[in-house]
Amino acid sequence: MAALPDLPHWEQTPADLKDATRQIKAALRARIAASGRSADEVFAVIEHTIGAEAAGVAAARQRGETIWPVIDYADIEAGTVPAQAQQLLRRRGCLVVRGHFGRDQALAWDRELVDYVGRNRFFQNYRGPADDFFASVGGKPEIYPIYWSPPQMQARQSGRMARVQAFLNRQWRHESNGTRWFDPDRDSLYPDRIRRRPPGTTSAGLGPHLDPGALELWMTQEYQRAFRHLFDGTVERYDPWDAAHRTAGPQYPSSTMCSAFRTFQGWTALSDMAHDQGVLHTVPIPAAMAYLLLRPLLADVPDDDMCGVTVGRTFPVTEQWHAPLRQALTGLPDVRAGDSVWWHCDMIHSVAPVEDQQGWGNVMYIPAAPWCPRNERYAASVCAAFRTGSSPDDFPAEHYERDWPDRFPLAGLNEIGRRGLGLA
Ligand SMILES: [Fe+2]
């Protein structure tokens, strides 16, 4: 194939977003056209395949079929996950791990978290939400900006967590062209918060969005390489499980950014949750990124607009531009305390609204963030935050735990914990 025209790129947030958007869209159209098909023709391929997959998911859901794959932790530990279950995981990009931790263990962790914040007078000192992505409930937060409790650290550095993360990481192609993009057997312990949503909660939920980035997905060189098949007219070869060029590049600074590369986002349930109580939904199609990244190139989108994607907020998935994808939004099945829930980092997700929630909705956010240049860089700042009980750099600088004497101690780290923080 003849050399295609280069793309302009911005390694930091462009000063003039509209101008950069016009430039990159023109360059992408020209590059795709040089491959022999127009951007419209290439998008038509994606619209057909992804649209059919989305319609299929919606139809199966309406027939009452279970959409989310479910795998028993025991099968992951024993290496006996049926081939069919693994195929479904790769097709859907999301998973419930049943019995990841014992139910009693998870419920004990939940009680311990309550005691931990109680002993340290968290609610008396709570200053209100430092970001506006999650509502607070009746003056008490739903998301606790707590990172260093014993239960969180015990779960992050447990062998059971490491085994599931390694299993999930290995769904990705992590080596190609002589480069090992990440180490599937070493996690970087990405610290995130907890959510405790009490019975009786009425919440508007969270609209469909994705978290791996926003304008940088089109505008930085490493992402342009990661999504090379979308941007050079060979969309049929696009593989959402290929980690090449995803694990080193920059992200534009933003209060919603995630510095880490995550193969999967995830959380561990600390309470039983019924499927109709405001739970997580996904569009269970990992390759939907192809649709999201090419849709702005069609003529009905203004030249300075990326279907509403901008800096400083998450990537929105809207009825106006992405309706065929949204029909596939599908909620979790019932989960029990100790189950964990995972979704491919590119996947569209939302949280359903709930009125007068029955039962608690409690989770610890723990993703799979394997060791790679990007995560190694962030791990250094995570380790410093751990030592001082500070909020990690990706989160608002609230630092509630700095003077809490009973947070998880350095001496409590095991081998997995030390490796995850870059200490071994
Ligand atoms: Fe999200």
Going by pLDDT thresholds of 50, 70 and 90, the confidence category of residue 128 is confident
Going by pLDDT thresholds of 50, 70 and 90, the confidence category of residue 135 is very low
Q: Which amino acid does the sequence have at 13? A: T
- What's the CA-to-centroid distance between 208 and ligand 1, angstroms? 8
* pLDDT single digits (tens) 44-68: 999 999 999 999 999 999 999 999 9
Q: How far apart are CA 256 and CA 211, in angstroms?
A: 8
Around ion ligand 1, residues with a beta carbon closer than 5 Å are: 211
- What's the CA-to-centroid distance between 36 and ligand 1, angstroms? 37
pLDDT for the residue numbered 138? 47
- What's the CA-to-centroid distance between 91 and ligand 1, angstroms? 20
Q: Give residue for tokens 């159209």.
A: 29
* pLDDT single digits (tens) 273-296: 999 999 999 999 999 999 999 999
Cα dist from 78 to 81, 82, 164, whole Å: 8, 11, 11
Query: Is the model's pLDDT at 190 over the cut of 70?
Result: yes
Q: Which amino acid does the sequence have at 31? A: R
Q: How confident is the model over 341-361, as a mean pLDDT? A: 97
* pLDDT single digits (tens) 365-420: 999 999 999 999 999 999 999 999 999 999 999 999 999 999 999 999 999 999 99
Q: How far apart are CA 333 and CA 162, in angstroms?
A: 24
**Average pLDDT across the chain, whole number:** 95
DSSP string, 163-199: HHHHHHHTTSB-EETTEE--EEEEE------EEEE-T
Q: How confident is the model over 98-116, as a mean pLDDT? A: 98
- What's the CA-to-centroid distance between 136 and ligand 1, angstroms? 17
Alpha-carbon Rg for the chain in angstroms: 21
Query: Is the model's pLDDT at 167 over the cut of 80?
Result: yes
Query: Is the model's pLDDT at 136 over the cut of 90?
Result: no
pLDDT for the residue numbered 249? 86
Going by pLDDT thresholds of 50, 70 and 90, the confidence category of residue 132 is low
Give the angle subtended at the CA of 206 by the CAs of 201 and 209, to the nearest 5°: 165
Short-list 54, 40, 6, CA closest to 295: 40
- What's the CA-to-centroid distance between 332 and ligand 1, angstroms? 15
- What's the CA-to-centroid distance between 210 and ligand 1, angstroms? 6
- What's the CA-to-centroid distance between 133 and ligand 1, angstroms? 10
* pLDDT single digits (tens) 11-48: 999 999 999 999 999 999 999 999 999 999 999 999 99
- What's the CA-to-centroid distance between 349 and ligand 1, angstroms? 6
Short-list 263, 225, 264, CA closest to 244: 225
pTM: 0.96
Q: How confident is the model over 206-223, as a mean pLDDT? A: 96
Going by pLDDT thresholds of 50, 70 and 90, the confidence category of residue 133 is low
Whether residue 249 contacts residue 377, with contact meaning beta carbons closer than 8 Å, is answered with no
* pLDDT single digits (tens) 253-267: 887 788 999 999 999
Query: In the Cβ-directed half-sphere of 393, how many Cα atoms lie within 13 Å?
Result: 13
Q: How confident is the model over 123-151, as a mean pLDDT? A: 78
pLDDT for the residue numbered 257? 81
* pLDDT single digits (tens) 287-333: 999 999 999 999 999 999 999 999 988 999 999 999 999 999 999 99
- What's the CA-to-centroid distance between 178 and ligand 1, angstroms? 33
- What's the CA-to-centroid distance between 314 and ligand 1, angstroms? 8
